[in-house]
Structure 1
Amino acid sequence: MLIIKELKKSFSDAGTPLLNNLSLNTRKGESISIQGASGCGKSTLLSLIAGFEKPDSGDILVNNLSIVNSGSNLKKIDNFRKENLGIVFQSFNLFDCFNAWDNIAFTARLKGNVDKDYQLALMKQLGILSLAQHPISSLSGGEQQRCAIARALVHRPALVLADEPTGNLDEATSDTVSDLLFETCRHTNTTLVVVTHSNEVAVKADRALQLHQGVLERANIDNATLTTAR
């Protein structure tokens, strides 16, 4: 579903590339967690998958569509995102001028496939249906992140990218919200890639990986210690 082939990305002419022949193959509906040291390229990888940045070489395919070969055609990239991607940002990126309902409906309206019944079902599953008409600024951090998750899913994307989705939440709220993120994606058969610093979040994925020296490696998470399994 998401296929990454020998991806390279560097931000200087000297030294080891940030991403070095990185490859990944996922199944539809599979969840992947990615951990790694600060600055190792985790957020850069998500930006490349989303088409916000271009790799030096390699390819990225989502539903057999090559993001890299779309080149610098901004309309193609924008259409790719609208048709295929949902993004959950660490900082929520919600609109203060909208209520919860309109924030969640935003991506579906961009795509032109608003389905009120589906949005109602998502909001009910995420426990925020009663907040539909509330100003977004009146909601707690956990409630806002649930809105962000609903917004990422409401247009039925093939792939959801989540960058530290619980980074701004307390431990108890983080556990609840991450459970909802993984459960909702499984329920909707949506492929999920989560970048996280949290072992507790990472272990909930179908596959836990570590970004190390420019490549993805299988990770063992044991007693809150992440070790690389080679």
Structure 2
Amino acid sequence: MTVFHTTPARRVLCLPGSLRRDSWNRRLLQAAVAQAPATLQLDVYDALSAVPLFDEDLERREPAGPAGVQALRAALAAADGLLIATPEYNHAMPGVLKNALDWLSRESPAGDVLPEKPVAVLGASSGPWGTRLAQASLRQVLHTCGALVMPAPTLFVANAASRFDAGGALTDLAIAQSLQDFTLAFERWMERTAPSFGNREPAVTARR
């Protein structure tokens, strides 16, 4: 006999703060996808390079934003939460990530997407500090934009080259457990900050 259970899946947009295809932070998000509970649907965004440099003249010509901005904004609008993995460049978040947030913070005919959006922040670095300063600057920007940033737990992955194999798979079991705990905590954070959730299509699972 097959028993069907329906559970609404919360959608989480996962934004790597690096354009490099094999970046540690992209790999960290891919590992998070594998460690997340079945009640979360994590989608890694792969088109950050299509977002142009923020320019108010460009914004005036295209009030809805250039195509790359529209795509990112639509992906975030469709998500229940945002998970950002940031590298650390010169003790701060990368310019490409700050640029994307500058675009997302602007008013749009399609509606605002950052205010009151649940957000979680983590990061990986090849150095010994694990993006602590980058995450601090990122949190400041997100708070300024009105996002609801999860205060804890935190996750700083240092010496990233030793945490993944040549194919990009996470090999560090302690970090895998931390990712599992982190995504569970983010699910609880979304439940706490967005209690009206419930209009999503149910995810159907079967048990024999």
Normalising to structure 1: TM-score of the pair? 0.29
